[in-house]
Structure formats: C-alpha cells, structure tokens
C-alpha cells in the first residue's frame, strides 16, 4: 500500500532495502499471532499487518491455522504449494486448520510444518502464523518468539488475551509479548486496556508486554499503515536476531494510536 507522500515512499523503500540487507533476500521471517476467539475482527488485524508488511516491501504468507480458519485443501498433505492462494501481489494465504498436528514429531513438536511452509511459498518474505496457543507452542517450540496477542475493547476479549499470555508463558516459557488491540483510539477505556494487561502479566506471571498498538476498527481500508504498527512489525522481524531483546517497562506501553 503506498504512503501518502513522496518522502514517505522513499522512507519505505529505504526501510525495505535495510530489511533485505539485514535478513538476506532468501531468509523467511516467521511471526506468531495468537488466536483470540473473543476478537471478532481478527481478519482486520491480519489485513493491517499485511498492509504494514507491504509498505516495507515484503510479501506476506498468512498461514491460518486457528480453530476459526477454513479447512485445508484436500491436497495439503500431498502438494502443499498448490494450496497456497495468491490474494494480491503482496499477500498469499494458506488455510491450515488442523495441519500443524499432522506434522508432529516424537517430541510433540511441529517444526517440520514450518519447513514445509518455507518450501511451499518461496515468494514470501514474511510468514504470519495465526494459530491457537497449543499449535504455536508446538510449531515454535524452544525458539525465541515474542508472540503477538490479540485484544479488543470488551472484558471477554481482554480476559482471553490474558489467558493466552498465561498459557504461552507457562508452557513454552515465552515471557515477552506484543499486543494488538482493536478499539477506538480515543475511547474512554482504550488507554487502560494495554496497561492493565501489562500490569497483570508482570505481577502474576513475571511476563511483559513489549509493545502495544491500537487498531482502529473504523479506519479506511485504503489508509496507510500507522507508524507504530510499522515499528512493531520491524521489531518483530528483528527480535529473534537479538541476544536478549530488552523488555520495555510499563511506562512505555503505547496506550493508543491516533
């Protein structure tokens, strides 16, 4: 998606070139997006993430393995590349509900599925894996991952976001997370949503919210990606290359994006 000014377009090109130099053109990056059944606008969040990746010059493969995802094509276990759908020049899609467990090994891990995905979509620079906590734990196992959590401006959505964080903190031991909240940027409760979750995570689990970005549910689909979302995506792309990514204190959790 193009930026609104020529200067922004040049900046996006510079960012894409920098990412390619840093990661190498053939190296795929994987991002773990935890499914939240209480967030009805998960598709909107995925779309905005894909828009942000496109603004950085990256092609995204969305691997939808959540319980709400479509069933995979019947050829998925025989010819996975044929099941990857081209959505646009910048986005591909793979319906993958139930596929990770079909690649489980004797240790209960599903890393072979990530390898199969990498081979099936050579055009993808970024693979966004949307799945439940159990599948994410099996897929990424002992890798250093900072999962993306989903939340929304409802008590049930934020309660489920905390439950997801707790499960990921306890089983794979992932203690740093990013948070995307679908909410009105200027809403009366928005400022406290991320802060409250971060406080609970730190107090009860010793975990932390690294970055928090609010996604406006009413934003024009043609709008350029927000700068904070671009920043979060760049950090996600780079985080596993760092030795120990510093966790941002609560005071730096962004309450909203305007």
- Residue 28 has a pLDDT of 86
Domain that holds residue 178: 28-252
pTM for this predicted structure:
0.83
In a domain, 16, yes or no: no
The strand pairing partners of 91, in sequence order, are 60
- Residue 87 has a pLDDT of 97
In a domain, 174, yes or no: yes
- Residue 143 has a pLDDT of 85
In a domain, 166, yes or no: yes
- Residue 182 has a pLDDT of 97
Please state the separation of Cα 34 from the chain's center in Å.
7
- C-alpha 186/C-alpha 34 separation (Å) is 25
- C-alpha 106/C-alpha 113 separation (Å) is 14
Give the pLDDT of the chain (258 residues) as one tens digit per residue: 333 344 444 544 555 454 444 444 457 899 999 999 999 999 999 999 999 999 999 999 999 999 999 999 999 999 999 999 999 999 999 999 999 999 999 999 999 999 999 999 999 999 999 999 999 999 998 788 999 999 999 999 999 999 999 999 998 999 999 999 999 998 999 989 999 999 999 999 999 999 999 999 998 988 999 999 999 999 998 874 443 333 333 333 443 333
Question: Which of helix, strand or coil describes residue 118?
Answer: helix
Q: Which contiguous run of DSSP H or E holds residue 152? A: strand 148-152
| Sign of the four-CA dihedral 237, 238, 241, 247 | negative
In a domain, 75, yes or no: yes
Which position has the token pair 């894909």?
Answer: 50
Strand order in the sheet with 176-182: 85-86, 91-95, 60-64, 126-131, 29-34, 148-152, 176-182, 208-215
In a domain, 86, yes or no: yes
What total of structural domains would you count in the chain? 1
- Residue 62 has a pLDDT of 98
The CATH code of the domain that includes 191 is: 3.40.50.300
In a domain, 10, yes or no: no
- C-alpha 233/C-alpha 126 separation (Å) is 10
- Residue 26 has a pLDDT of 52
């Amino acid at each position: 998606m193009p930026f609104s000014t020529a200067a922004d377009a040049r900046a996006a090109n510079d960012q894409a070139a920098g990412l390619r130099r840093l990661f190498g053109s053939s190296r795929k990056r994987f991002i773990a997006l935890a499914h939240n059944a209480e967030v009805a606008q998960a598709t909107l969040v995925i779309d905005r993430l894909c828009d942000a990746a496109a603004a950085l010059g990256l092609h995204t493969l969305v691997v939808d393995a959540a319980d709400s995802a479509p069933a995979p094509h019947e050829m998925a276990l025989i010819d996975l590349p044929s099941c990857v759908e081209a959505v646009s020049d910048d986005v591909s899609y793979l319906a993958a509900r139930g596929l990770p467990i079909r690649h489980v090994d004797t240790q209960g891990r599903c890393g072979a599925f990530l390898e199969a995905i990498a081979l099936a979509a050579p055009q993808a620079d970024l693979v966004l894996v949307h799945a439940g906590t159990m599948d994410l734990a099996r897929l990424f196992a002992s890798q250093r991952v900072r999962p993306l959590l989903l939340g929304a401006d409802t008590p049930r959505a934020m309660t489920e976001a905390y439950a997801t964080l707790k499960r990921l903190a306890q089983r794979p031991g992932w203690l740093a997370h990013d948070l995307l909240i679908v909410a009105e940027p200027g809403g009366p409760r928005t400022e406290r949503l991320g802060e409250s979750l971060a406080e609970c995570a730190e107090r009860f689990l010793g975990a932390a919210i690294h970055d928090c970005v609010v996604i406006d549910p009413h934003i024009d689909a043609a709008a350029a990606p927000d700068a904070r979302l671009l920043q979060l995506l760049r950090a996600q792309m780079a985080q596993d290359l760092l030795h120990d990514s510093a966790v941002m204190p609560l005071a730096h959790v962004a309450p909203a994006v305007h």
